[in-house]
Amino acid sequence: MTDTDILDSIDAFLARDVVPHVHRLEHDDIYPEAIVERMRELGLFGATIAASFGGLGLPCATYADIVERIARVWMSLSGIFNSHLIMSAIVQRNGTEAQKRAFLPRFASAELRGGLALTEPDCGTDLQAIRVTARRDGDAYVVNGTKTWISNGIHGSCFALLVKTDPNAEPRHRGMSMLLAEKGAGFTVSRKLEKLGYKGIDSAELVFDDYRVPVDRLIGGIEGRGLQHALSGLELGRINVAARGVGIAQAALDESLRYAQVRRTFGVPIAQHQAIQLKLADMATRTEAARLLVRRAAELYDRGDRCDMEAGMAKLFATEAALENATEAMRVHGGYGYSTEFPIERLYRDAPLLVIGEGTNELQRIIIARQLVARNPV
């Protein structure tokens, strides 16, 4: 199947299974069970998992195109499989052979679905400050602590869990490890977290109370590499979030172009007014520039090259483009942009998450600057 065939199937899925239902599901914050099942049938939970493990083995560039198309229609859907695929990428890149054989086929089939458990109530961007601990006890680790804002926390069943195996280590990252944690005794979901936007997907607080994880679930089999594992997964995650930004920016542009040609003032469509034309031109330029940055980062990822700077650039620019386009789309639509009858208000609520999630845009700027200096020594 060619990339064109894959994208055509995604477009057909969106038109048939998502567009007729998105307004109701999003408005009522309902988890889209039937849509998720259809995504499983399409293989999206194994999109970037190697074919040898039962996945589609898609290149990151194709995956980014898929995410963009889905985000144009309903961004929340992309989050349901993105977090899952970050976990999968961490295992595929860093897991032992036994872990890959045991988990990747189950991830690809969506028998096990889940995500990445990094954030804690007092720790977001500064991952080295996490407090969840994993103490070795015979053939298991005993985990205690709380994670928060975990995507798929309620409906997921397995998570790449960042823990402190040595809380006293210096530097701090040497005491961090990552475990594959399936739900069980001592692992509870304390509550669903309510959000301004990004409805439908569950964001939850997870509590670990003497939760036991077998030692063979330590990703890579060596303690102290958890932060590196997390960062390797976040490269894919940031490309995904950047692609979502392109999708939101494109959707805002599409809606504005359509509306500007049918809404009339002073006897002509508002698309003929220079003030609106300037907005449309800027929106289109931002969208295309963001798309090219995402494509560049995805190409580097596919080559196996380091791309934290490029993924950071794509994430920074594309998400800011989404936020700005959503705001401009509301201005183009006027009062109708503020109405829940039109999708603009949903884009306006969803876009702010993108500049925060997968590392704030302030953090992206720091990453970019540090990499620029490191790559260009005097």
**Residues annotated catalytic, as ranges:** 358
Greatest C-alpha distance within the chain = 79
Q: Are strands 264-265 and 133-137 parallel, antiparallel or unpaired?
A: unpaired
Helix (H, G, I), strand (E, B) or coil at 117: strand
How far apart (Å, rounded) are the C-alpha atoms in residues 87 and 23? Answer: 29
User: How many residues does the structure list for the chain?
Assistant: 378
Nearest to 234 by CA among 124, 350, 83, 361: 83
Beta bridge partners of 212: 142
Nearest to 237 by CA among 351, 86, 62: 86
Q: Are strands 187-192 and 203-214 parallel, antiparallel or unpaired?
A: antiparallel
* Contacts for 301-306: CB closer than 8 Å, 24+ residues apart: 301/60, 301/235, 301/236, 301/239, 302/59, 302/60, 302/61
How far out from the chain centre does Cα 70 lie? 12
How far apart (Å, rounded) are the C-alpha atoms in residues 351 and 356? Answer: 10
How far apart (Å, rounded) are the C-alpha atoms in residues 65 and 198? Answer: 20
Q: Helix crossing, 226-262 with 75-94: angle to 10°? A: 160
Nearest to 245 by CA among 151, 351, 337: 351
